């Protein structure tokens, strides 16, 4: 297994890429997603695999310089073979070169490097070769050769067409994983997303998952708006404080004598769960903040709906907020705070009060306990990344 | 600033306004000062931003052609000679014109910087002017179909942000099919010719999307200034 090195993605893939697999990574123009192949190369190299990097668009020095100073910099030149623009020119620029002769040239090169240098993993930046041979022909050539030789193949492809083009390629060439990287995520136009278009060895829903590129060049999957809502004094602010450490909170002492949120709580952007960065936003809970709650729920990537499991008097207000959550359509988990206390209302009564069907899991926990709070978040991220009802 | 007139008032008066959004193919043979003409056309006014994608000149040379203003350069040649050269706020590098993936990513980064720059200054949004110097070089590395597809997306971005794009192409380096294919992406064509027996003097004509062709305009450069000859 070769991890891609992006934990959220590896988690979805069941740990990474089985050796001998064929992987196509399709990038939309202008979208920063080169980190996927960079990360996979870094990961394979760290595993001690013998990697061939075919990079026809530039020189080896430029390619390595681009990696240096990023989290994907290669630690040594051991076990690395490069075929760069000069190799491309040699194959493509031969007098009387034809697509057939060029295809034979690449096949011979790969076969000899596998035999002589023990190359077992190939990283191909294919666009120039696709330009020379034809896209389908070039991808089929490398896929067939790697399959025959038992090599793992990672391909980066700049898709100048649309999603149908990738679907057609995926249907005609037997890639084991097809991953697309595209622009935007729902209403968050400043984010980009990746999407597993095809996966042979497991079932993963075909949904876009957003990511950001950090200043150091690291690709970080990112859930931009996880809303924590529920009635007043449910423990929302405590939950955010426990998880984030340094939250920007907007609580004031309320009528009950305890702090209550009067606008919105924002968790640190570096709450991490299942390889995702999450931004937590806590809503106030009182009835008169109803319009604000609805506003804050708009475009939520996911919702932690929280209720104090010992406070049956709050269930009526909880039901009203939960109805809003359901109406907005975002995936949600039901977190039952103070779930560790003996006076907790039985699940059956809570389900009845909130009109929750039996197949909606309840997550009893304590908002004061990091591990338990993280368990709630983990359940939500699992729901967001694996649900099948959203395209 | 809603029309392309900076520095070329006389040309504007003769060929009419070129209003954004526009994508203009600048057809110019070698030794016609095509870069200088293009740089003059995209020279930024007060709040405007100019982005030059250069396959023919390095970033310092491009900067030297502009007397200040907000100019951003996507340099496609320096990195092949100096692999360690690092991106700066105003200059981004790609390894070669063959790297369309890198080019698209760096162009997006520049647009992000342009947007942030506008937000930081709290200024009225200026116009974005882009010069691609040159399509001829891109066509050396990549076949027409891919170039067409890439610039189809690229020119659409310029349209969406109400910008102006000038794309230099040497018509002598490509066939008629290439020119007519690339024309499909454009809203106008500037055609430059040399004037026989009059070194340094050139003639341009502008053809807009409706097919209307302007009268010929004779021009030359005196220092950095474009001077239009009286008819």
Comparing CA positions, the residue from B63, B38, B40 lying closest to residue B169 is B38
pTM for the predicted model, two decimal places: 0.91
Q: For position B91, what pLDDT does the model report?
A: 97
Which of B105, B143, B149 is the closest to A30 by Cβ?
Answer: B105
pLDDT for position A187: 79
**Of the candidates A59, A126, A66, the residue with the CA atom closest to the CA atom of residue A87:** A59
User: Chain B interface, mutation test: which of A35, A58, A137, most B Cβ atoms within 10 Å?
Assistant: A58
Q: Residue A368: its pLDDT value, please?
A: 94
- Helix or strand or coil: residue B27? strand
Q: Please give the pLDDT value at position A263.
A: 61
State whether A85 and B98 contact (CB < 8 Å). Answer: yes
Which chain A residues are within 8 Å of B96, Cβ to Cβ? Answer: 57-58, 62, 85
Above 80 in pLDDT, residue B122? no
ipTM entry = 0.92
Q: Which residue has the tokens 């039985």?
A: A346
Which pLDDT score is estimated for B67? Answer: 81
Average pLDDT, chain B: 88
CB contact under 8 A, B105 and A31: yes
Separation CA A145–CA A142 (nearest Å): 5
CA distances from B133 to A25, A69, B20, B37, B174 (A): 30, 30, 20, 11, 15
Determine what percent of chain B is predicted with pLDDT higher than 90. Answer: 61
Chain B residues whose C-beta sits inside 8 Å of any chain A C-beta: 79-80, 83-84, 86, 95-96, 98-102, 104-105, 107-109, 141-143, 146, 149-150, 152-154, 157
Q: How many CB atoms lie within 10 A of CB A374?
A: 17
Helices then strands, counting H and E runs in chain A, come out as 13, 17
Supply the pLDDT for residue A251: 61
Contact B6, B45 (CB under 8 A): yes
Q: Which of B99, B108, B146 sits opposite A30 (nearest CB)?
A: B108
B190 bridge partner residues:
B26, B206
Beta bridge partners of B52: B73, B131
Residue B125 has what pLDDT? 63
Whole-angstrom distance, CA of residue A271 vs CA of residue B85: 35
pLDDT 10s per residue in chain A (391 long)?
Answer: 999 999 999 999 999 999 999 999 999 999 999 999 999 999 999 999 999 999 999 999 999 999 998 999 999 989 999 999 999 999 998 777 888 999 999 999 999 999 999 999 999 999 999 999 999 999 999 999 999 999 999 999 999 999 999 999 999 999 999 999 999 888 788 899 999 999 999 988 888 999 999 989 999 999 999 999 999 999 998 999 899 876 556 665 555 666 666 566 665 546 889 999 998 988 887 777 778 888 889 999 999 999 999 999 999 999 999 999 999 989 999 999 999 899 999 999 999 999 999 888 999 999 999 999 999 999 999 999 976 544 3
Q: Can you read off the two tokens belonging to residue A234?
A: 């449910």
The pLDDT assigned to B85 comes to 96
pLDDT band at B197 (very low <50, low <70, confident <90, very high): confident
Across the A/B interface, how many CB contacts are shorter than 8 Å?
Answer: 76
Alpha-carbon torsion, ordered A18, A21, A22, A24, to 10 deg: -10
Cβ–Cβ gap A131/B80 under 8 Å: no
Pick the CATH number of B20-201 from 3.40.50.300, 3.40.50.12280, 3.30.750.24, 1.20.140.10: 3.40.50.300
pLDDT of residue B6: 41
Chain-chain contact of B108 with A56 (C-beta, under 8 angstroms) = no
Residues shown for chain B: 231
DSSP one-letter string for A119-161? --EEEEE-HHHHHHH-HHHHHHHHHHHHHHHT-EEEEEEE--S
Q: Which domains does chain A have, with CATH numbers?
A: 7-213 (3.40.50.300), 223-386 (3.40.50.300)
Chain A partners of B109 at a C-beta cutoff of 8 Å? Answer: 32
Q: Do B95 and A58 make contact, defined as CB atoms within 8 angstroms? A: yes
């Amino acid at each position: 297994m070769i991890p891609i090195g992006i934990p959220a993605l590896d988690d979805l893939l069941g740990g990474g890429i089985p050796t001998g697999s064929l992987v196509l990574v399709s990038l939309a123009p202008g979208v920063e997603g080169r980190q996927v192949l960079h990360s996979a190369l870094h990961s394979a190299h760290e595993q001690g695999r013998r990697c061939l990097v075919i990079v026809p668009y530039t020189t080896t020095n430029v390619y390595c310089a681009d990696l240096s100073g990023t989290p994907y910099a290669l630690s040594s030149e051991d076990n690395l073979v490069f075929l760069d623009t000069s190799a491309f020119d040699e194959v493509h620029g031969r007098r009387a070169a034809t697509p057939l002769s060029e295809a034979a040239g690449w096949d011979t090169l790969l076969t000899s490097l596998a035999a002589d240098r023990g190359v077992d993993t190939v990283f191909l930046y294919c666009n120039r070769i696709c330009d020379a041979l034809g896209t389908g022909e070039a991808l089929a050539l490398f896929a067939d050769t790697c399959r025959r030789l038992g090599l793992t193949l990672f391909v980066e492809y700049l898709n100048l067409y649309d999603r149908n083009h990738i679907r057609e390629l995926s249907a005609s060439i037997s890639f084991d994983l097809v991953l697309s990287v595209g622009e935007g995520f729902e209403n968050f136009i400043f984010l980009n997303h990746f999407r597993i278009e095809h996966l042979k060895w497991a079932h993963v829903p075909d949904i876009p998952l957003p990511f950001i590129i950090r200043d150091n060049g690291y690709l970080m999957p990112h859930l931009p708006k996880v809303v924590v809502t529920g009635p007043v004094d449910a423990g929302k602010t405590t939950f955010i404080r426990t998880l984030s450490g340094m939250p920007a909170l907007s609580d004031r002492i309320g009528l009950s004598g305890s702090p209550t949120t009067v606008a919105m709580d924002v968790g640190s952007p570096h709450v991490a769960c299942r390889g995702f960065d999450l931004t937590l936003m806590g809503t106030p809970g009182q009835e008169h903040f109803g319009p604000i709650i609805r506003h804050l729920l708009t475009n939520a990537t996911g919702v932690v709906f929280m209720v104090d499991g010992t406070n049956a008097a709050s269930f009526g207000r909880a039901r009203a907020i939960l109805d809003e959550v359901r109406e907005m359509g975002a995936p949600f988990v039901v977190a039952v705070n103070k779930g560790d206390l003996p006076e907790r209302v039985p699940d059956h009564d809570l389900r009845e009060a909130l009109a929750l069907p039996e197949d909606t899991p309840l997550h009893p926990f304590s908002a004061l306990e990091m591990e338990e709070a993280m368990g709630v978040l983990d359940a939500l991220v699992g729901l967001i990344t694996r649900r099948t009802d959203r395209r | 600033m809603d029309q392309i007139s900076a520095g070329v008032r006389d040309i504007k008066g003769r060929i009419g306004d070129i209003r954004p959004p526009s994508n203009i193919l600048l057809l110019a043979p070698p030794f016609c000062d095509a870069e200088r003409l293009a740089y003059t056309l995209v020279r930024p006014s007060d709040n405007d931003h100019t982005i030059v994608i250069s396959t023919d000149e390095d970033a310092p040379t491009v900067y030297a052609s502009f007397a200040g203003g907000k100019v951003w350069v996507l340099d496609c040649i320096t990195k092949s000679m100096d692999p360690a050269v690092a991106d700066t706020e105003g200059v981004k590098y790609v390894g070669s014109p063959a790297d369309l993936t890198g080019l698209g990513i760096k162009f997006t980064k520049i647009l992000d910087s342009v947007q942030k720059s506008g937000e930081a200054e709290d200024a009225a949004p200026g116009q974005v002017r882009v010069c691609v110097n040159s399509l001829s070089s891109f066509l050396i590395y990549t076949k027409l179909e891919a170039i067409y597809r890439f610039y189809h997306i690229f020119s659409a971005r310029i349209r969406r942000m109400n910008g102006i794009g000038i794309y230099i192409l040497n018509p002598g380096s490509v066939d008629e099919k290439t020119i007519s294919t690339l024309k499909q992406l454009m809203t106008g064509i500037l055609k430059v010719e040399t004037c026989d027996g009059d070194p340094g003097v050139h003639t341009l004509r502008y053809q807009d999307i409706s097919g209307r062709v302007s009268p010929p305009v004779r021009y030359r450069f005196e220092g950095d200034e474009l001077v239009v000859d009286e008819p």
